[in-house]
Chain A
Amino acid sequence: MARRERVASTRRAFTALGTAPGTALGPAQPPPLESLFDTAPESWLALQGVAVADLERLAQLAIGFSPRVSLEPDAVLLEVRGSFRLFGGARALCTQVLARCREAGLAPRWSLAPTPLAALVLSRAGRGVAVLARDRLVGALAPLPIAVLGWPPAALARLESIGVRTLGAAQRLPRAGFARRFGPAAMADLDRLTGLCPEPRRAHVPRERFRTRRDPSFEADTAAVVLRETEPLLIELEDFLRARQCGIDLLMLRLSHRARDAEQGRAAIPLHTQLDLRLAASEHRAATFAALLAEHLARTVLPAPVTRLELRSGRLRSVVAGSAALWRPGEHGGGLARESPALIERLRARLGHDAVYGLCLVPQHRPESAWRIAEPALPSASRVAETPARSGSVRRPLWLLREPAPLPWPFTTLQRLEGPERLETGWWDGLDIARDYYIACEPSGAEVWVYRERLPPHAWWLHGVFG
């Protein structure tokens, strides 16, 4: 927890500037010249008008300019008064913030005001103005339409019916009557606008990543040594994740190798090996990471001894820690939430991503297109997975050859059992077929699925086996 330093006592000049005992230290620093003429303890910069998906990126960027950043539903607010001195004044700071936004490909509307709500309202109204002094605030807000407050339409309609169309007009109404008619919440909004009523903001906590590195005391040249050297980092990672009750689904290990020797004909080039561990479900246990890394390392060829290990995590995802099962997985109806992804991860880590797949039905008449490889995913337990047997349909072989093969037996030894079944066309995706399929019995007694092409040269092909 960061300790916020407070002002214990002030000289009279500073008190006049709005610095009182108990305010945060930031505003109480010896002020630059420009702030001698204003009287606000805070200055809020509102950045608005970017896509909602970009807000978090904007907040991340804003943290470089102020420690007090708050993420609003449609904007990012940052208190910049404490940063004026460091960045050389309000104008220089705003210029730098906007330049940084432009670099990141964002073009927010902005405005600067002594209260957070006023800054928001000004930027919503599209006024790129900087109001530093509190006494200038009321004048800057007065011409804005009342709709910028985002009140419910009914309240806005009633205000309009009594001729109140701007913030200034609303603020001139008698307070008691306004509070009675529109509720204390609306009154408090107006007070927050001008700073009569304080408005604390929830601080934005930047997204965390885990990153650490380690230089082994000797050069690690085998996978086993690398793994052993990585284990302390993994345990550190587990502690990090456990403290935040989070898991990760991406882990990157970067191995730096000893620079290649100069006498081998080239200048010394630092080499890196990058291992990316992608997990099917978020995970936080060091043992799991170690097991998966071992599989990855077993497949990786180290071009040179490793001199540095660097571990980085992907974004943190919250996990709900489950209790350990009494039964073995799958036994006595035990759940499989973790075992099934773990199995697929382990197999894929060793065998490669494409070696493990599920099956999926495709509504297509051509035999090759009637199924495809699918990402393995078990149906959830709650769904009743009752596959009705479609007994009325034509017989299909349990095994399909990946590519039709020429008949391995003499044609005359086959005995026809069923057929022909004519399967045709498919011109729309370039796989045009014209075939007559037969179920036949081959010499040894097994049933096979063969077809004859209807176009010359009328070749016979084996396509499936009724295994």
Chain B
Amino acid sequence: MRTDSADGIPRGTPITGLDGLLMHPAIWRGRSLAPIDTHATGCARLDEALPGRGWPATGLTEILTRRPGLGELRLLVPWLVALGRTQPPRWVSWISPPFEPYAPALVAEGVPAERQLVIRTDRPLWALEQTLDSGACCLALAWPDAGAPRGRSRVRPRDLRRLQLITQRHRAPAFLFRPLEAACEASPAELRISFEPQPAGARLQLLKSRGGRREPFELRWDEWHRGGSRGADVRQEPSHGAP
């Protein structure tokens, strides 16, 4: 199609009414649908599966596991490394983590230990709200069900909705690590992922997302862009029985 070099509007397009005017390429509409802002996960297969090809840079994400510490944190390590290089420095807050984040391992992966802020509290949602509200954190990781009786979630959908609105308002990402039982509860989170460990990898399914892959898919840690090769070497040789 020939275009008029002067204004970029295709020749012959009848300019009638508001819609026609808005087609002008110089007009940018703030509310127009934009692709969501994401960060690369560091794994090509996970990028493909997620909406927007990466971790959402804004909003609430839930990762559901049977119990904490099954390997779900490893999904976020490449992003933590990338966040460690941003300027000006901002915190990554860890709210009621189930164990102690081990600084030597983080540093070995390239995550700067001095940007991690650990908050121990029995009111994780309040702390999460404060960290998101302050603007001093670039990522908030929270374990809101820590200490709750087994099979019972401490988080009400109303609280989650509130958190989701805060993440939207402050354009901040928050990750909630919750038990698998929470999958049957309603949640306003934009992205919900169930995580199942497997030998040398993990099985993920997007329970709720705006686009992305529906069916479960498997990840192998050796596909991971960093730190995977060493783990793969170990697992390729059959193990010598129980230690």
Contact = CB atoms under 8 A, between A and B. Distances in A.
A330 B136 contact: yes
Interface in B219-239: 226-227, 230-231, 234-235, 239
B53 to A, nearest CB: 23
Please classify the interface of chain B as helix (H, G, I), strand (E, B), loop, or mixed, using the class held by over half of its residues.
mixed
B85 A386 contact: yes
A400 B226 contact: no
B130 A346 contact: yes
Contacts of B108: 389-391, 393, 395-396
B243 A440 contact: yes
A385 B241 CA distance: 43
Interface residues of A, number: 75
Contact of B102 (A373, A374, A398, A450): A398
Nearest to A351: B121
B70 A385 contact: no
A444 B68 CA distance: 12
Contacts of B109: 389, 398
B150 interface: no
Please classify the interface of chain A as helix (H, G, I), strand (E, B), loop, or mixed, using the class held by over half of its residues.
mixed
A419 B105 CA distance: 17
B61 interface: no
Interface stretch (B5-13, B86-94, B205-213): B86-94
Contacts of B52: none
Interface stretch (B19-27, B71-79, B152-160): B71-79
Contacts of B240: 416
**Residue of B72, B117, B171, B197 with highest tally of chain A CB at under 10 A:** B117
Contacts of A373: 118
Interface in A365-385: 367, 370-371, 373-374, 376-381, 385
Interface string A344-359: 1011001100111111
Contact of B136 (A339, A385, A447, A452): A339
Contact of B101 (A350, A398, A445): A398
Interface stretch (A96-104, A184-192, A407-415): A407-415
Contacts of B70: 444-446, 467
A323 interface: no
A84 to B, nearest CB: 59
Contacts of A159: none
B183 interface: no
Contacts of A444: 66, 70, 197
A170 interface: no
Contacts of B202: 445
**Residue of A388, A411, A439, A444 with highest tally of chain B CB at under 10 A:** A444
Nearest to B103: A371
A396 B106 CA distance: 9
A420 interface: yes
Contacts of A441: 199, 239
Contacts of B243: 414, 416, 419-420, 438, 440, 450, 452
Contacts, number: 223
A16 to B, nearest CB: 71
Contacts of B199: 441, 445
B15 interface: no
A390 B107 contact: yes
A357 B77 CA distance: 20
B40 interface: no
Contacts of B105: 395-398
A361 B104 contact: yes
Contacts of B87: 333, 381
B72 to A, nearest CB: 7
A392 to B, nearest CB: 9
A333 B88 contact: yes
A331 interface: yes
A379 to B, nearest CB: 5
Contact of B113 (A360, A417, A418, A445): A360
Given A355-B121, A356-B119, A452-B243, 6 more contacts: A328-B171, A331-B171, A343-B134, A359-B106, A398-B106, A440-B243
Interface of A: 328-331, 333-336, 339-340, 342-344, 346-347, 350-351, 354-361, 367, 370-371, 373-374, 376-381, 385-391, 393, 395-402, 411-412, 414-420, 438-441, 444-447, 450, 452, 464-467
Closest 7 CB pairs of A and B: A329-B135, A389-B110, A416-B243, A371-B103, A465-B69, A445-B197, A399-B99
20 contacts: A330-B138, A331-B135, A339-B134, A339-B135, A344-B117, A347-B127, A347-B130, A350-B126, A358-B116, A361-B104, A361-B107, A373-B118, A374-B114, A376-B91, A387-B107, A395-B105, A399-B101, A400-B99, A400-B101, A465-B99
